[in-house]
Amino acid sequence: MEEFCQNPLCENKAAKEVLVSVEAPGDQARLLCAACEEAYTWGVQHGSRIDFGLRVDPPHEEMGPEPLYTAVYLIDVNGANVHEAAEYAHRIMTDPDSMRPVLIVIDSKGGCTTVDLSEDDVTLDDAANDSKSKKEDQEERGEAMDKFTKTTVGFVAQTFKKDEEGRFVCTHQEFIAGDQCDYEDAQGNPIDPPEHEYQPYNMTLRTAAQSETTDAAMLKRAYDSIEEVLESLDVGGEQSRQFAEEIRVLRNVISHT
């Protein structure tokens, strides 16, 4: 058996040998992947003949941020003529209460993939049940919760002005809060926001002296951390020889204090 599907537009691995109709019923056999075999079987069952000489061309390779696909939708409908059948199919496709279909999706390289959208509905139902369960758990522990964290997504707008020495320094800044807010309990678990008082967002501009003090404190903490790492590495013996280069680098950093 050949390795790949004999549909010229498909690059999937072959799964089954299928008798196909080209000139007469079943006059040729083709090795097809599961998706192409299903497409051909649908055509035979519904009274049409899929001739692999009549091809659905794959979409061109999209140069934008997302690839381009061709989605093939097969459906049986009744109608007095082809126009009524097309109208009926469109009504089913646009009906939000209709069952989600099985589609054959073709990528720019001709690869075919069968996508059963009804399976996504099951996943969504499971997700809804999980969400309901989490909400019930949250309500059970709600009375015990005495603290939570609110994280707001936004951005900072800063105004810079040239000083007497010709440098641009920040003279004003403000936090612009967005609509996205995440809430967590004390253990870091996501929660629905409980009722709480609104707290405005306050920001202050640090003075040069405050910045220097803060920077010095951060630098001291960094050096203290390096000292702790050195103490854990430089204990003599094989371990010290194994990390000799790392120990040398860390000691050179500390020597600049």
Q: Half-sphere exposure of residue 252, counting CA atoms within 13 Å on the CB side?
A: 6
Q: What is the pLDDT of residues 113-161, one digit of tens each?
A: 888 887 765 555 555 566 556 556 655 555 567 888 888 888 888 889 9
Tell me the C-alpha to C-alpha distance, in Å, between residue 212 and each of 144, 157, 208, 209, 219: 42, 23, 6, 5, 10
pLDDT of residue 49: 43
pLDDT of residue 208: 63
Residues in the chain: 257
pLDDT of residue 124: 52
110 neighbors 11 (Cβ within 8 angstroms): yes
The ranges assigned to domains in the chain are 16-119, 145-205, 210-254
The angle subtended at Cα 18 by Cα 17 and Cα 20, nearest 5°, is 145
The angle subtended at Cα 114 by Cα 108 and Cα 117, nearest 5°, is 115
- Report the alpha-carbon distance of residue 113 to residue 34 in Å, rounded: 9
pLDDT of residue 236: 80
Question: Exposed e or buried b for every residue in 108-130, given b needs 16+ CB within 10 A?
Answer: eebbbebeeeeeeeeeeeeeeee
pLDDT of residue 23: 54
- Which segments in the chain show pLDDT lower than 50? 45-54
pLDDT of residue 50: 43
Task: Tell me whether strands 148-162 and 112-116 are parallel, antiparallel or unpaired.
Answer: unpaired
pLDDT of residue 53: 45
The C-alpha R_g of the chain, in whole angstroms, comes to 33
3-state secondary structure 104-145: EEECCCCCEEEEEHHHHHHHHHHHHHHHHHHHHHHHHHHCCC
Is the torsion defined by CA of 160, 161, 163, 167 positive or negative? positive
Cα torsion 128, 132, 133, 138 to 10°: value is 140
What's the predicted TM-score (pTM) here? 0.30
